[in-house]
Structure 1
């Protein structure tokens, strides 16, 4: 295995590949509080999880502080929910970028109300001091995860807290202001703290020429949070040119879509309208002018390995074109339960349920990861690594096959359920 890299300004990680632990803690509209760290048992299996990352050559990670557990009483911090994670990562030699607020917050504060930014800033400063003490160096923080997505999901379509509609622009401004305050407080508390700003990169298409203006506005909105942190969008919020150090971009198979109000459909790879990921990465860098890391990418089921192959080929193409990309984060690195219905989402390098104390590894994804580690090692040494033009079609084939299997399984499940129900009723 190659020696780990020294982190540069284009990354925080000693390795090009990173692993992200799902750490969402928001409340659904039915009032249920999610805690993905607990439901995946990452809080209990942190040592094994970080050892497993290191065993695969992954020495960088994304993880989260569960603010709602740490600050149950206003102004009082109980660090016991996050200390085991910090110490497990350090023991394994894995450098972590920590999410300070990953959708969730204590019930005594809300981005809908005054005082949220101040509370988050106090928490971020205290957390930065703790990380300096535990890690021995200034931390890497993402003050507010996915500002633009949170604003849309919770401010426009009422998907989760605070569950509003037609309030996305206001929520985005409040979250930008809170992220600015938290980042500034963390840097003042611990000079040298590095900040990551994470959001999806998307492409929105109109259904008809009459929809073009709406699609363009939705597409343009993806940049507002990043530009707000840098003082380019709504400068009265307090953003500055040094508002963050690294641009984290999240990209999944459904990040290109036709949007019609609250509804729409995915424009999938293979559709003539679909734009190559390399172009979206180049556009992101040209627009924001910050080094990039792929902060999230994955897909469920058997297409996991073909998807990684496609993403990696596109990332290398973007890097050849001059886009500074410092790494790719497999997110989530552990499969998890779905937000809405607790269904199992098999999208990680590691499956969720341990077997004899260890999480099973997805063998195909592990093989592809090892292959890509070797390719990126060679590529970053300046060796010739040819493009893989079949990576996109290979993914499409794998994805179509998995969908056929899924739909067939669903139809069979419905048939068995119908026959069982009919039998119960004597039909």
Structure 2
């Protein structure tokens, strides 16, 4: 599945007093018809699309579908297959933030109503980048609840992971053949030196990056992480509930990668951006070894537009290499369709900085990377095929597991 996406983040800032809505900042609400036509012009069938949750879900049982009805009808007319991204870094005002224990059930109700209304939609990302959302909202104090403590982080992780489980279950009741693309940021922490404390910090962070996915996929965490969860508010019965769920059967693991995803733990114990050291191939391989799911490269871009085409091809060669190694990768995504605004400062302020990361600029004129992606798709789409069925990926994964004499959980 060759794909792109519409940047759709909508976190709140300053105690919820205002919202950074990227669909507004990037002009999608005004130019959505043009944007969909650009997807088609690129030769793409698949589009990661995040309907504006904060505008649609107006209260318990109350929804405003007007905008999305039009968009959905146009997608169908153009033959675009959406991967619907139901929660992307923010919540409606009435739900406040990710410390609210009502969030998981409210989002499950939304997911069920969504799947019932848009019955033709098969692909879903229930919650985008749970780890990043929890970290930036509850540990680094940038978005939504703007907390800076471990208890708040664990609370956000619990609610995000539970929401994902309940949303997947709710959607499956309406569409049993639904496919879930669980998009997560591919992170890695490297210790700067052999100091035992620096190594301990890096080791902890390298376990913590997996925490939301461990809960989602019912993978038991190690003893240290289990103790960490207990110290910071997760009751034993809640952990047991996660371990008793099974939503993996129709799940693709999406691993996003940017040049800041790899971090060095410096001599003071602080993470510093490391740049591309090991790359998507190595880091995605770590996620595959842990979860054994069919995979997709679900996000990448480069802030320097001049480097965009080189970065595109490097990411694509990573995908080719890992596929040759036997890992079932079923999709690749340049994110996003258009340039973004203020992502260079992680949306912490509304400065209006245009980040030239798109396949098109905000005038909807093509960037060089957009032309390069269209060329790449033309070269490889017919060779690889574009088939929306998860069954092909599952069969690939089963064959690999048999070859390695491993148990494959499908």
TM-score of the pair, normalised by structure 1: 0.78
2:144 pairs with 1:161: yes
Find out whether 1:279 has 2:282 as its counterpart. yes
Q: Which runs of 5+ in 1 are unaligned?
A: 1-15, 354-358, 382-427
Gaps of 5+ in 2: 221-238, 386-410
Contact 1:147 1:175 in 2 (8 A): yes
> Which residue is 2:405 aligned to?
none
Residues of 2 paired with 1:336 and 1:182: CA distance?
28
Contact (CA 8 Å) 1:43, 1:85: kept in 2 or not? no
The structure number with the bigger radius of gyration is 1
User: Residues 32 and 307 (structure 1 numbering): CA distance in 2 closer, same or farther, change over 3 Å?
Assistant: same
Cα deviation, 1:337-363, whole Å, max 9, x if unaligned, reads 11232211110001113xxxxx1001x
- Deviation of 1:138 after TM superposition, in Å, equals 4.4
Residue 114 and residue 265 in structure 1: after superposition, are their counterparts in 2 closer, same or farther (change >3 A)?
Answer: closer
Summarize the Cα distance change of 1:113–1:367 in structure 2 as closer, same or farther, 3 Å threshold. Answer: closer
1:25-424 alignment to 2 at 5 Å? 25-29=10-14, 31-109=17-95, 110-132=97-119, 137-166=120-149, 167-208=152-193, 209=195, 210-233=197-220, 234-237=239-242, 239-242=245-248, 245-259=251-265, 263-269=270-276, 274-300=277-303, 301-338=305-342, 339=347, 340=349, 341-353=351-363, 359-362=364-367, 364-377=368-381, 380=384
Deviations 1:150-199 (A, max 9, x none): 11111111110111112212211111011111111111133222222111
SS at 2:29's partner residue? coil
Cα displacement (A) at 1:139: 2.5
* SS class of match (1:232): coil
C-alpha deviation, 1:50, in angstroms: 1.2
Higher deviation after alignment, 342-351 or 37-46: 37-46
CA contact (8 A) 1:230 1:244 kept: no
Spell out, residue by residue over 1:242-266, the C-alpha distance to the aligned partner (whole angstroms, 9 max, x if none).
Answer: 3651111110111111146895322
SS in 1 for 2:380: helix
* Deviating 4+ runs (over 6 angstroms): none
The CA deviation string for residues 305-355 of structure 1, in whole angstroms up to 9 with x for no partner, is 1100111111111111011111111111210211232211110001113xx
Q: TM-score, normalised by structure 2?
A: 0.81
Measured against aligned partners, the alpha-carbon deviations of 1:368-394 in whole angstroms (never above 9, x if no partner) come to 21332244347638xxxxxxxxxxxxx
The root-mean-square deviation of aligned C-alpha atoms, in Å, is: 2.0
Structure 1, residues 3-39: CA drift from partner, whole Å, max 9, x if none? xxxxxxxxxxxxx321111111110236321111122
Question: What are the superposed Cα offsets for residues 119-167 of structure 1, whole Å, 9 maximum, x if unpaired?
Answer: 11111100111111xxxx3431111111111111111111101111122
User: Structure 2: how far apart are the matches of 1:323 and 1:257?
Assistant: 25
Q: 2:5 aligns with which of 20, 23, 28?
A: 20
SS at match of 1:58: coil
Q: Is the 8 A contact 2:82 2:121 kept in 1?
A: no
